[in-house]
Amino acid sequence: MKITVVGTGYVGLVSGACFADVGIEVVCVDIDQKKIDKLKNGIMPIYEPGLEEIVVRNYESGRLSFSTNLGEAIQDSEVAFIAVGTPPGEDGSADLKYVLAVADEIGKTMSDYIVVATKSTVPVTTGCKVKEAIQNALDKRKSDLPFAVASNPEFLKEGAAVEDFLKPDRIVIGVEEERAEEIMRRLYKPFQLSGDRIIYMDIPSAEMTKYTANAMLATKISFMNDIANLCELVGADANMVRAGIGSDPRIGNKFIYPGVGYGGSCFPKDVKAIIRTAKTYGYDLRVLQSVEAVNEDQKHTLVKKVKKHFGDDLSGMTFAMWGLSFKPNTDDMREAPAIVMINELRAAGAKVKAYDPIAMEEAKEVYVGDKVTYCDDAYDACVDADALLLVTEWSEFRMPSWSALGKLLTNKVVFDGRNIYDRKYLKEMGFEHYGIGI
């Protein structure tokens, strides 16, 4: 079986490499020649555990290839996945120009039946628009070639993308005809999912499923952040409350960790986009509007605590920041709460010394620039700093030497944005500890 994957971002590259790894012939296509050249040389555009190995292995075996020529790639492909970006437009809705340009190109160049499946997170009704774009291009050629559209949203998590793709919880496939369903069934067969974990449905439902999943997860986080803030006021411990409610299987113990707010490429964008979609249908998604508002506020929580401790004017002070990426095991800085915190600390007159195991290059190049001093390691960031802010819970930050830190920091104060430290122990070590909801 041969397939084409268009777009070599997170979703496209991981999907392409993983499909190749189970024996499928995959061509990954991107318009960015530089990116394609780098991939051919084993240079990954993103940091993702296990990705390089799987890409290089399959490229060397010939099952995975890279190209900028979409028309050539889709010849003999049974499926073409569209996995290009859907950046948010100014009004929060997803911009479909890249998706539709790919659909148009497929219509212009296809020479046989093909299933065109969207893998990017696309708003409901995109399936129809993709179909229309392909049909228009075919009409211009005066061609009556048959094709099908499908929606196959991707649920992988950054930092665990390869693992998630190879061992998915479930696969959602929106299709409207049997021939396409049969092809998708064959494609996913090697992943040996039991029948009930491949869920077939109509295309709008598949598109809605993706947004609903991300919106529900974002809701859990904002809900817990809201509750954590109340816990602080009433003298309760949000960690205890979390453990207490998480043991109810109807609630579950995952995704209820209070913190500095969610970031990343999916939750902020998808919550905005679904609110926007609802608005165009004259409906107000009130819960999600609050989810978004709570999240925006939550990004300020840690610096508020800093100001409560040191006063609003932080001029002349320096803060160590551990972690910049929006979560561990990724260099992704998109919508990272660290960016908001850095700006806020600087606006109050403070300097920031930052360390992140992977994301410093990305932060410096695109998101933070020279607003902070980048440090060689976690301890280096603390030299003569007035306090430590833990922003991203990378493993290497979990058990630092507090006695060493005590000597480096000017004040023994820790602002723990992810509740990873034991307050009692820190107190014994002479540290003051601030957490979220505790």
d(CA 270, CA 208): 11
CB of 306 to ligand UDX, least distance (A): 19
- Residues 371 and 321: beta-carbon distance below 8 Å: no
Helices 238-246, 203-234: inter-axial angle, 10-degree rounding: 140
Binding of ligand UDX at residue 14 (CB under 6 A)? Answer: no
373 is in an annotated binding site: no
Listed in sequence order, the DSSP H helices in 44-202 are: 51-61, 70-73, 97-109, 126-140, 161-166, 178-188
Given 28, 266, 375, 382, which residue is catalytic? 266
d(CA 326, CA 95): 23
Which lies closer to ligand UDX via its Cβ, residue 110 or residue 217?
217
Q: Which of residues 142-161 bind ligand UDX (CB under 6 A)?
A: 154-158
CB of 222 to ligand UDX, least distance (A): 9
d(CA 427, CA 326): 28
> Of 66, 188, 326, 431, which lies in the binding site for ligand UDX, with binding defined by CB under 6 A?
326
3-state secondary structure of 172: strand
Q: Which tokens belong to 323?
A: 């972690």
CB of 242 to ligand UDX, least distance (A): 9
Binding of ligand UDX at residue 394 (CB under 6 A)? Answer: no
Which lies closer to ligand UDX via its Cβ, residue 77 or residue 121?
121
Binding of ligand UDX at residue 397 (CB under 6 A)? Answer: no
**End-to-end Cα spacing for the chain:** 54
> Of 188, 257, 322, 402, which lies in the binding site for ligand UDX, with binding defined by CB under 6 A?
257
Which range of residues in 258-266, 342-350, 366-374, 420-428 is near ligand UDX by CB under 6 A? 258-266
From 304, 275, 270, 311, select the one nearest 290 (Cα to Cα).
275
> Of 16, 127, 264, 435, which lies in the binding site for ligand UDX, with binding defined by CB under 6 A?
264
Amino acid at 147: F
Binding mask 181-220 for ligand UDX (x = CB under 6 A): ---------------------------------x--x---
From 248, 275, 245, 247, select the one nearest 258 (Cα to Cα).
245
Q: Which of residues 219-238 bind ligand UDX (CB under 6 A)?
A: 221
Which lies closer to ligand UDX via its Cβ, residue 110 or residue 342?
342
259 is in an annotated binding site: yes
97 is in an annotated binding site: no
Binding of ligand UDX at residue 105 (CB under 6 A)? Answer: no
249 is in an annotated binding site: no
Percent helix, strand, coil in the chain (nearest 5)?
Answer: 45, 15, 40
CB of 358 to ligand UDX, least distance (A): 14
Active site residue 266: yes
Checking DSSP bridges between strand 148-151 and strand 171-175, what pairing results, if any?
antiparallel
- Residues 348 and 307: beta-carbon distance below 8 Å: yes
Binding of ligand UDX at residue 271 (CB under 6 A)? Answer: no
d(CA 272, CA 270): 5
Backbone angles phi, psi at 174, to 5 degrees: -100, 120
Give the residues lining the site for ligand UDX (CB under 6 A): 154-158, 214, 217, 221, 255-257, 259, 262-264, 266-267, 326-327
Feature table: binding site for substrate: 155-158, 210, 255-259, 263, 327
Give the catalytic positions in this structure: 266
